[in-house]
């Protein structure tokens, strides 16, 4: 995989808005404008040749990169493979005030609508796909990631939080967005996406790689700005990402999923430390005297 960055990607539209606030600081009061993160619904649909679009899910998201979000969602939820994607259309501008609030993924083969009925999708910005009928539906049958490479140095891991934070353009304006960054094994940023939902940020980043034909992402490190849920690990595993890092804590279900799926899970990555919860063989700790 060739190295790449997101420098040429234009900023998304409507991802940040302005509102009037009354700011109180101690005994001082100021009425001023403030920048806040955008949040709007996106309806994701899919359609094969001569097939009416099938409504898959409605998710609350930060506007921008709708094509990547739709594609990433469909791929990480196991509804498409990727090569069958022809294009992504938005809604009818003559009928909708915000036509990009609908994304229709056009496929070269028929879309299996029965999978949607089986999965019972209900998506929110805070928790991703909630309300699935059973844990069996949540536990997607992702193949375990092969053991071995990449092996990442401790110094590379410790540099990831600052690299992620330094590339968060919208967070600098609002302070209210999650981020998912995909990095090379030596720490170069490849793709970064922000969203009010951490799962949406990851779907956008993975969707960008799907559209570029770069899956599986077996030589990639994922760095997320918050905690790690089961769903983050699951989506990473579906995309073939072997190392998942976060500045905060993983859940117990995320840890067990990472162990089962062959994912190296790193939490509390901040300052000069971190915890490795599963498959620590991918982290080079040979320079530490106490490491055995």
Q: How far apart are alpha carbons 124 and 207 in whole angstroms?
A: 18
Residue 30, beta-bridge partner list? 23
Q: Give the contacts of 164 (CB within 8 A, at least 6 positions apart).
A: 179, 181, 189, 192, 223, 225
Q: In degrees, to the nearest 5, what angle opens at C-alpha 168 toward C-alphas 166 and 172?
A: 95
Catalytic residue numbers read: 127
The kind and range of the H/E element at 105 are: strand 102-107
The Cα 267–Cα 254 span in angstroms is 11
Q: Kindly state the DSSP code that residue 192 receives in the 8-state scheme.
A: E
Q: Identify the CA nearest to 274 among candidates 146, 194, 115, 161.
A: 161
Go through the chain and tell me how many residues it has: 292
């Amino acid at each position: 995989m060739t190295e790449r960055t997101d420098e040429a990607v234009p900023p998304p539209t409507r991802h940040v808005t302005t509102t009037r606030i009354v700011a109180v600081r101690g005994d001082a009061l100021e009425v001023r404008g403030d920048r806040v993160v955008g949040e709007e619904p996106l309806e994701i649909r899919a359609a094969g040749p001569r097939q009416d679009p099938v409504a898959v899910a409605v998710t609350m998201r930060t506007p921008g990169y709708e094509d990547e979000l739709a594609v990433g969602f469909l791929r990480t939820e196991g509804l498409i493979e990727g090569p069958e994607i022809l294009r992504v259309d938005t809604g009818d501008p003559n009928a909708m005030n915000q036509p990009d609030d609908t994304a229709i993924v056009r496929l070269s083969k028929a879309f299996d609508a029965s999978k949607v009925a089986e999965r019972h999708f209900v998506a929110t910005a805070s928790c991703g796909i909630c309300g699935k009928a059973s844990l069996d539906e949540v536990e997607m049958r992702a193949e375990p990631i092969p053991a071995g490479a990449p092996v990442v140095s401790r110094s590379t891991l410790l540099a990831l939080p600052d690299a992620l934070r330094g590339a968060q353009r919208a967070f600098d304006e609002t302070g209210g967005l999650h981020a998912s960054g995909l990095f090379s094994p030596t720490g170069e940023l490849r793709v970064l996406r922000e969203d009010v939902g951490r799962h949406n940020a990851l779907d956008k980043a993975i969707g960008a790689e799907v559209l570029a034909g770069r899956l599986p992402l077996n030589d990639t490190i994922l760095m997320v700005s918050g905690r790690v849920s089961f769903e983050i690990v699951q989506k990473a595993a579906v995309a073939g990402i072997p190392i998942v890092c976060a500045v905060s804590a993983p859940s117990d279900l995320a840890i067990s999923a990472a162990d089962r799926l062959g994912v190296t899970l790193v939490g509390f990555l901040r300052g000069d430390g971190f915890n490795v919860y599963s498959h620590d063989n991918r982290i080079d700790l040979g320079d530490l005297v106490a490491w055995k």
